[in-house]
Amino acid sequence: MKILVTGTHLTPAIAVIDQLKKMQPDAKIIYIGRKSTMEGFRGESVESNILPVMEVKYRTITTGRLQRSFSIYTIPSLLKIPIGIIQALYIIISERVDVILSFGGYVATPVVFIGWLFSMPIIVHEQTLVSGLANRISSLFADKIALSFGKGREDGCVINTGNPIRGEILQPVKKLPAEFSTFFKKAKTDKLPVILVMGGNQGSHIINATLEQILSELTKIAYVIHVSGNNQFADFERLEKLRGLRYIVKKWIGKEIGKVLSNADLIVSRAGANTLTELAFLGKPTLTIPLQLFFQNEQMKNAMFFGKVGLVKILPQSKLSGESLLENIKAMIKDLERLTLKAHQAKKVINKDAAQRLALETILLAQRN
């Protein structure tokens, strides 16, 4: 059996790929993704580094996205769409896959469309409370649509699987690398909280820059682990020079991410559904800064949903500054015990078996075909 996985939402994809390997050990898995993290930047994407290590055949296409505002990338992006369709056509013909599993994003749309033209079974997974534009288009060609937060009745086409959680989160590694282990021990000795700051797979330039403004003040009251991502602003290269006793910066964190999250006391992050799902499972109080101008204000709706179940406090990006960020973090540290108890209640909205359910549905769809 050959299973083609595609999309730009990496964390649920990794979770399901792990389950597919367990359920179907002889299956060959191909992943179609992107070369770089964003348009106009040649830095390697996270998935291009992680998936080959997982022994997944990684292939890329160059395609564009439908943009809701005009920029210098709008026309070049539109011109790339036919290129992506042709490349997807070539890969699908040459690989002869049995089923396509899409995790959304602009990379997935041409793959799903070509798969539909060749009558291949397709399952599309929606991670968020609000379906993105790419997934709305892809869903038109899908045999099954899997929802993360669906409460409606399943009808054969629409199924409620939940949002897959990575194995690194469900079963964290037992031992941390020396750098992290020493860092947490020092924080415990000094009786200071550990704050993990991250901006999603691509990182967030505005969060990185704002954190930089308050770093000297913040490290007086906490130890800080910072996942900067890899971007055209060279944030990591600049921030790495500020490494110190109470500050670590990484482009991204690998298999030890579950253990790092488990040991952290407070999280500062964007409001992506995958991130908040994992933090809810771990019961980690989170200061979230939703990404603005996303389709239908997707991240704000995610944040509001998880805010109601006790996981997050929202700091709108429009109000983000060094002063507001520091003020909010200090307030949460003072109330950390109560916030942690509330955050643990959020676990009730998470289905920890989502990856198994989605992997099983993918295999059954391929076998039915």
Nearest to 307 by CA among 327, 285, 326: 285
220 in helix, strand or coil? coil
- Residue 300 is inside which H or E element, if any? helix 298-308
* 270 annotated binding-site participant: no
Task: Say how far apart CA 16 and CA 3 lie, in whole Å.
Answer: 11
Instruction: Quote the Cα angle for 88-89-93, to 5°.
Output: 115
Report helix, strand or coil for 29: strand
CA 129 to CA 295: how far, in whole Å?
11
Q: Please give the Cα distance from 122 to 368 (Å, whole number).
A: 12
**368 CB burial (10 A radius; 0-12, 13-18, 19+):** exposed
Q: Please state, in angstroms and rounded to a whole number, the distance separating the CA atoms of residues 262 and 34.
A: 30
Known binding residue 238? Answer is no
Tell me the C-alpha distance between 240 and 229, whole Å: 12
Q: How far apart are CA 208 and CA 205, in angstroms?
A: 5
- Cα torsion angle, 248, 217, 215, 253, sign: positive
CA–CA gap between residue 138 and residue 105 (Å, rounded): 9
Q: Nearest-CA neighbor of 146 among 81, 233, 156, 285?
A: 156
Distance CA 121, CA 110 (A): 15
Binding residues for UDP-N-acetyl-alpha-D-glucosamine: 166, 299
Which residues fall in the annotated binding site?
166, 299
